[in-house]
Amino acid sequence: MKASDIFIKCLEQEGVEYVFGVPGEENLDFLDSLSRSPSIRLILTRHEQGAGFMAATYGRHTGKTGVCLATLGPGATNLVTAAAYATLGGMPILMVTGQKPIKKSKQGRFQILDVVAMMGPITKYTHQLASADNIPSRIREAFRLAEEEKPGATHLEFPEDVAEEQTDSLPITPSLARRPSAEPKAVRAAVRRIEAAKSPVLVLGAGANRKLTGRMLLQFVEKTGIPFVTTQLGKGVIDETHPKFLGCAALSAGDFVHRAIEAADVIINVGHDVIEKPPFFMRAGGTEVIHVSSRTAEVDPVYFPQIEVIGDIANAIWQMKEDIVPKGWDCAPMLAARAAEVAHTASLDGDDRFPIFPPYLVREVRKAMPNDGIICLDNGVYKIWFARNYPAREQNTVLLDNALATMGAGLPSAMASAMVYPGRKVMAICGDGGFMMNSQEMETAVRLKLNITVIVLNDGSYGMIRWKQANMGFEDFGLTYGNPDFVKYAEAYGANGHRVESAAHLGELIAHTLATPGVHLIDCPVDYADNDRILNKEIKQMSAAL
């Protein structure tokens, strides 16, 4: 069998459904073999970065490795951001890049980069395929490492002369593997410390965002009554309308949720990864922390837990739930902080000014989206408003990036979400800057006949950095730009364009686009004028008063 054929057979063995990408001439054997696959569909994108973001989002939703394809040189370099996005965010992907013949090339160093070395620091595994006979074992290893906790990016370089070799190798069947269970003595130590606490709190991070883990955590909360906080990547692990929910750590410090955490004498930190902005800062002699994760704690100046429960997180929480005897813990100060935040949010989200005030936008989106509806946020200051004010009802229904925090991922993430869950409502929420970084994928979305709504928050600037610039006392400089007519821009791709004309009109448009098939773009003028007053001053003053 030709090497490229066995490569595709191995992908089929792994259960791959899609290959996202932009092929080049060095991928043509691969492309020819893929064209004959009965089960894998090529998703041709307009940029390799969009392909990588789509593959990563597929991995986040399914737990299975998303696969993306690019050629050598510039094609491979265009996957770098997506590789970092997947590795830092814990999303399994395999990147396949082409290469000139490695055994005999007549093109000198044209387009040649050491892609394997380039990918090394931002992947869990990278390898150049130098023999067709090794393809099955290298693909199996790439998938194993991509999906092993913590999930992330892997990379295989597939030179064109290797792709056309002959081999009698066969695909390797994935093994049945189970994560090790937490050691009972560690569980006992953690439970003993929680039982001795006066005011324990749960903090749920990215590693807790697994279906069975969420179920076990809900049972733990229901049995013990211990309240919980989420990080941005932990949103939706437990329904955030639960009475024990204390909020999401969207700001770095000084928010109502931080007052709740400060009221605790023991923090049970589940699935934490220091790659996220810290939801709390440890200090010598301060609140003790119990680290519950699949991996030992990565020690940091602000994170050095006293007890570690290491193993399958769902199993660890189940063991703790079975062992613990609920006590009369004092959670009143924490719940009071949450009540103050809810009241403050309610005082803001009725502000129907135009251009749209961000809390009002959050309210209208939450009203329109069903419990299983998925919102995919790009990166900008609006991400803070959604993380704080948008209660996630189910896991992976609020996709945001609090690890790499890259712009440009919102639209591709929504597209992949609509492919994985075609029966659910999906919305991308993007700043105008982030949207334009991968706006060409609107054509891909239309070609794939996806049903998505894209809200473009139009303020003609890089708003997050502009807010920070003002907050630091600098002059307003270098962060504003002009935008196209987004309605016409959408229509040029064959999508449906809409423009918000008033606050009341926003809700009407969202309801219409969610109910109408196809790709819809909503140009939404937004007013960030009060960001600094509210996020940086008012909230911190009010929370400090608690």
161-211 pLDDT, tens per residue?
999 999 999 999 998 888 899 999 999 999 999 999 999 999 999 999 999
Q: Is the pLDDT assigned to residue 274 strictly greater than 90?
A: no
Average pLDDT over residues 88-97: 97
Yes or no: say if 135 and 167 are a contact pair by the CB < 8 Å rule.
Answer: yes
Q: What is the pLDDT of residue 278?
A: 86
User: Percentage of the chain surpassing pLDDT 90?
Assistant: 89
pLDDT band at 382 (very low <50, low <70, confident <90, very high): very high
Q: Is the pLDDT assigned to residue 104 strictly greater than 80?
A: no
Q: What is the pLDDT of residue 482?
A: 96
Q: Is the pLDDT assigned to residue 11 strictly greater than 70?
A: yes
Q: Is the pLDDT assigned to residue 474 strictly greater than 70?
A: yes
d(CA 174, CA 140): 7
Q: What are phi and psi of 131, to 5 degrees?
A: -150, 135
Q: Is the pLDDT assigned to residue 64 strictly greater than 80?
A: yes
Q: What is the pLDDT of residue 325?
A: 97
Of the candidates 75, 312, 58, 95, the one whose C-alpha atom is nearest the C-alpha of residue 210 is 312
Q: What is the pLDDT of residue 471?
A: 83
pLDDT band at 112 (very low <50, low <70, confident <90, very high): confident
Q: Where are the beta strands (DSSP E) in 5-152?
A: 18-22, 41-44, 66-70, 93-99, 125-128
Q: What is the pLDDT of residue 277?
A: 83
Tell whether omega for the bond before 185 is within 30 degrees of 0, i.e. cis: no
Q: What is the pLDDT of residue 483?
A: 97
Q: Rounded mean pLDDT of the chain?
A: 95
d(CA 269, CA 230): 10
User: Percentage of the chain surpassing pLDDT 70?
Assistant: 99
Tokens 């790499």 identify what position?
A: 404
**Torsion sign across C-alpha atoms 205, 62, 406, 149:** positive
Q: Is the pLDDT assigned to residue 121 strictly greater than 70?
A: yes
Q: Is the pLDDT assigned to residue 108 strictly greater than 90?
A: no
